[in-house]
Chain A
Amino acid sequence: MSFLQVQGLSKSFRGLRAVQDVSFEVAQGAIAAMIGPNGAGKTTCFNLIAGVFAPDSGEVILGGERLTGLRPDRICRAGVGRTFQVVRPFPQMTVLDNVVVGALNACARVGDARLEAERVLALLHLEGKAATLAASLTLPERKRLEVARAMATRPRLLLLDEVMAGLRPTEVDEMVGTFRRINRETGLTILLIEHVMRAVMALAAHVVVLHHGEKICEGAPAEVVRDPAVLECYLGEEAL
């Protein structure tokens, strides 16, 4: 049985079927990616897993535990950390305090949470910014802060929503290296939504492709990028 099981997930907004009967699985300790054109339902899928919306039908199961329909805070405490596509830092708090808020999910004492936050900040090369207000960070830094905050909750599954967008290629490679190392060292399971194919190809062992709210293809990255349906709707011929 897989670690994360998404079974027949559906969600409509006023008749618009955003996600339709999507099923996939992610093995424990794996890195999987979800790709597809804008509006394909990727972020809605994340929001259904993270509890922002309850699905109309379908199930989300993590490590045998049913998460379907739970509140976001309960799902976080059950071990799912997530980032937001449009970053949501706490602007009037320092970078360190932002991450402390996340770390308090895993630490009983504030002192321990501060140590944990400092450790996670170093992991994402943000230690030099610890004392600055999150409002004054650049966008790439905010993306990293978003990841740091989610990681500090000590999740078993990390959902990353387009954290590479807007990064330069060297920054993407650095971020890829960071996730690889975290995945290897801690066995953290990662599911990412990403348009930067460079990152998807380098990180993911398994790729799920969504289009118009439906899963049109899944498999190893090398197979998926050769799939005619994927080429047609998303990657385009030049990807070959």
Chain B
Amino acid sequence: MTPARRAGVALALLGAALVTLPAFAGSYLLSVATLILFFAYAGQAWNVMMGFAGQLSLGHSLYVGLGAYAAAGLYFHYGIGPWAGVWLALALCVAAGLVIGFLAFRFGISGVYFALLTIAFAEFTRIGFDHIQWLGGPGGLFIKVEQRVAWDLPNLRGTPAMFYYVILGLNAAALALCAWLLRSRAGYYWQAIREDEEAARALGIDTFRWKMLAIGVSSAMTALAGVFFAFYYNNLFPEQIFHISRSIEIILGPIIGGLGTLFGPILGAAVLTILADGITELMAWLGIEVPGIKQVFYGLCLLVVVIFRPHGIWPAIARRLGL
């Protein structure tokens, strides 16, 4: 079998396993799987900017938060479901992304300075949302929790299995989109910009335009993660959703899994979520309470991967599997 063929078969098997999972998984397992897929999807979105185009965003919580509040606000105040709210979320997030991109890329802000700019935007949006009483302010915005047996997809109300399938679908779509992007002109240009921007320019690439496309695509994808988040958890606090620790959680998966790869974000999210949850469970079982143990664990994971597998764990596994 050719590597492409093998990869296709492996992907089909994984897809089949994930599709049938709710049939035999309990509610705990399903919630862990949903969490993994949420981070896999958000990581995939972030990976478009950093992994493909080399633009380090440390403020992706901005797009999760904006997307979540946009859809949740419409639903809370007007009863308009996320089928409509998603478009508002997309518009707001892409607009925010393009403003940040324009400010940075037009005025030559790059590298760590760009990263700082993305943090700044996420932070002042967080503080700003504390003062928007219409959206609950610091006290939070709560969507009415309804236990439904039937699936109401346009309004994102239904069983945990429905949420699982929604985020699974988003992952499948994101994977297909990213695979297509990588093989398109955008993918080649993004990688060239990531590797050496001046050389890219000398080859006729309008780097400003293509970096704007990267941040546009990435923020749009992340907006959908926000909408999902709002209706899955039903509560939003500026202090949590816009917080920089959320941005860090999003980027750990792709970094540990493998930057710029298609499966790195998925693998990284799975490894991190499973291990972190395992540690929390273990600690609870042992009766030890260590605040912030998850964060310490994330730090250790990052340390180990950066030292031993600087390109992430997926490239090494892909080589081993002959993919």
Contact = CB atoms under 8 A, between A and B. Distances in A.
B204 A76 contact: yes
A88 interface: yes
Give the interface size bracket for B toward A.
20 to 34
Contacts of B206: 71, 73
A187 B199 CA distance: 25
Interface string A70-110: 01110011000010100011111100010011101100001
B202 A82 contact: yes
Contact of B199 (A71, A90, A105): A90
B189 interface: yes
A21 B272 CA distance: 61
A158 B81 CA distance: 58
A235 interface: no
B200 interface: yes
Contacts, number: 71
A91 B202 contact: no
Nearest to A101: B192
Interface in B172-210: 183-185, 188-189, 191-192, 194-196, 198-207
Contacts of B199: 84, 88-90
B191 A84 contact: no
B196 A104 contact: no
A164 to B, nearest CB: 20
Contacts of A97: 188, 191
A153 interface: yes
Interface string A114-144: 0000000000000000000000000000000
Given A52-B198, A110-B185, A90 B204 contact: no
Give the interface size bracket for A toward B.
20 to 34
B198 A105 contact: no
A26 B273 CA distance: 63
Contacts of A104: 185, 188-189
Interface string B268-283: 0000000000000000
B74 to A, nearest CB: 40
A92 B204 contact: no
Contact of A105 (B183, B184, B191, B203): B203
A73 B195 CA distance: 16
B201 A110 contact: no
A49 to B, nearest CB: 12
Nearest to B192: A101
Contacts of A153: 203-204
Contacts of A113: 188
B207 A101 contact: no
A149 interface: yes
A159 to B, nearest CB: 10
A128 B231 CA distance: 53
Contacts of A101: 188-189, 191-192, 200, 203, 205
Q: Which of B184, B194, B195 has the most CB of A within 10 A?
A: B195
A67 interface: no
Given A97-B188, A100-B188, A72 B202 contact: yes
A45 interface: no
B185 A90 contact: no
A50 interface: yes
B196 A88 contact: yes
B316 to A, nearest CB: 15
Given A97-B188, A101-B188, A73 B198 contact: no
Interface in B142-165: none
Contacts of B196: 88-90
Q: Which of B183, B199, B201, B205 has the most CB of A within 10 A?
A: B199
Given A90-B191, A97-B188, A110 B200 contact: no
Contact of B192 (A50, A72, A76, A93): A93
A90 B190 CA distance: 11
B202 A76 contact: yes
B201 A88 contact: no
B203 A102 contact: yes
Contacts of B202: 50, 52, 72-73, 76, 82, 84, 150
Q: Which 5 A-B pairs have the closest CB atoms?
A: A90-B195, A76-B204, A105-B204, A88-B199, A72-B201
6 contacts: A71-B206, A76-B202, A104-B189, A105-B203, A105-B205, A110-B183
Interface of B: 183-185, 188-189, 191-192, 194-196, 198-207, 260
Given A76-B202, A89-B196, A153-B204, 9 more contacts: A71-B201, A73-B207, A84-B202, A88-B196, A97-B191, A101-B188, A105-B203, A150-B203, A153-B203
